[in-house]
Amino acid sequence: MARQWDEEYRLLAARLSDSGISVDAVIARLKKQHIETPSWAYADAGTRFGTFQMAGAPRSVEEKFEDAAQVHKFTGVAPSVAVHIPWDVVPDWSKMAAYAKELGVSIGSVNPNVFQDRIYQYGSLGNTNAAARSQAVEHMKECVGIMRAANSKFLSLWFADGTNFPGQGDMRQRKQFFIEGLSEVYKELASDETMLIEYKPFEPAFYHTDIADWGMAFALAQRVGDRAKVLVDLGHHLPGSNIEHIVAFLLDEGRLGGFHFNNRKYADDDLTVGSVQPYELFLIYSELVAGENAGIANNVAYMIDQSHTLKNKIEEMIQSVVNLQSSYAKALIVDRAALAAAQAKNDVIVAEEAIKAAYDTDVSPLLWRARTELGIPGAENPLLAFRASGYGDQKAAERGFGGSKGVG
Ligand code: PSV
Ligand code: MN
């Protein structure tokens, strides 16, 4: 039987208002959510064991943006697209920005690639070879130029730097090289531009990684400048890490710069965000909402970083964005007053139940309402609406197989 969305929404709104939660405020915040999708997630990707090509994979940067625009069209909250240089190369970034605008999206964070060129075999900013360090700095400066042309405000940095064997490198010297290189790049940034520093405990380096965890990224950010912040990639933690705690800590320090959303079972699995540990995702959002309520979660870049090998790319991206909408909606309806009162009394049961009650709520009527107000086609189910649009079949016929290139 078809769901009665109006009625379901009315009932949920009444229930929330009993706990003092204004459903209008929740909808307004859901409509303002902004999730950036990555250009590299639309192209064919693989593992080191092989790449399976998919029919309809985009053949150019323009086509990646066309696909990304579909995700925005059916979710309403994915209006920007991150680019990775040189996986994405165009002759003129201002023209590309104009084309993105025509499609209804914009160019988001710019990600320099300082890990694939041969010169980076032993590292980029951490390399003992000054030529490698300087090539990396120059490339990052070039990316700042792309930000200007594309009107993008985030320079998003991840380094594959590290060593594979004990004794291979002087870890302290490499740290100093990082401070030097990052500071040089930071000097290029204008006052409304932010440097994001990502961390990762291992891979491709297996003995030590120069920026291995959030604490190291945080320390470097502090050395570099106020607008250098930490980027939390959900796949970049050792098993058992409490990511929501990291998020709360960084928010409180004013150094939470952004996210790379994805999900993991083992390591940097790059699976659909919310697919394996949806409760963890909700708990992270709960900290973000608490930060927003306290006025300290401004200018956080919410980005997806996934690399899918099995699902249709656009569909999985829609699924990911919907999972993020749903986690945000659940976090927005936590009864914060009841939670704070229970915490103050050390009433562990009631505090935990306040969190669980929100998590257990079916928030789809809220998402339906937010999308309806945004004028989204097929507001009740973006995935079905996208399938019904025929875009996937049309592009498969038009583009065929094997068009993608450039993604590692
Ligand atoms: C590295 O694993 C990473 O998370 C970085 O963000 C890179 O830019 C991205 O993946 C490349 O796929
Ligand atoms: Mn990442």
Pocket of ligand 1 (CB under 6 A): 40, 111, 158, 198, 200, 233, 260, 268, 305, 307
Neighbours of ion ligand 2 (CB under 5 A): 233, 260, 305
Question: Which residue's C-alpha comes closest to atom 3 of ligand 1?
Answer: 158
- What is the Cα–Cα distance from 370 to 386, expressed in whole angstroms? 18
Task: Take residue 317 and report the two structure tokens written for it.
Answer: 């991206």
Dihedrals φ, ψ of 298, to 5°?
-90, 155
Q: pTM of the full predicted structure?
A: 0.97
Q: What is the pLDDT along the chain (408 residues), one digit of tens a residue?
A: 788 999 999 999 999 999 999 999 999 999 999 999 999 999 998 888 888 899 999 999 999 999 999 999 999 999 999 999 999 999 999 999 999 999 999 999 999 999 999 999 999 999 999 999 999 999 999 999 999 999 999 999 999 999 999 999 999 999 999 999 999 999 999 999 999 999 999 999 999 999 999 999 999 999 999 999 999 999 999 999 999 999 999 999 999 999 999 999 999 999 999 999 999 999 999 999 999 999 999 899 999 999 878 999 999 999 999 999 999 999 999 999 999 999 999 999 999 999 999 999 999 999 999 999 999 999 999 999 999 999 999 999 999 997 665 454
Which of 158, 261, 303 maximizes ligand 1 atoms within 8 Å of its Cβ, making it the mutation to test the pocket? 158
Residues forming beta bridges with residue 271, ordered by sequence position: 263
- How many residues are there in the chain? 408
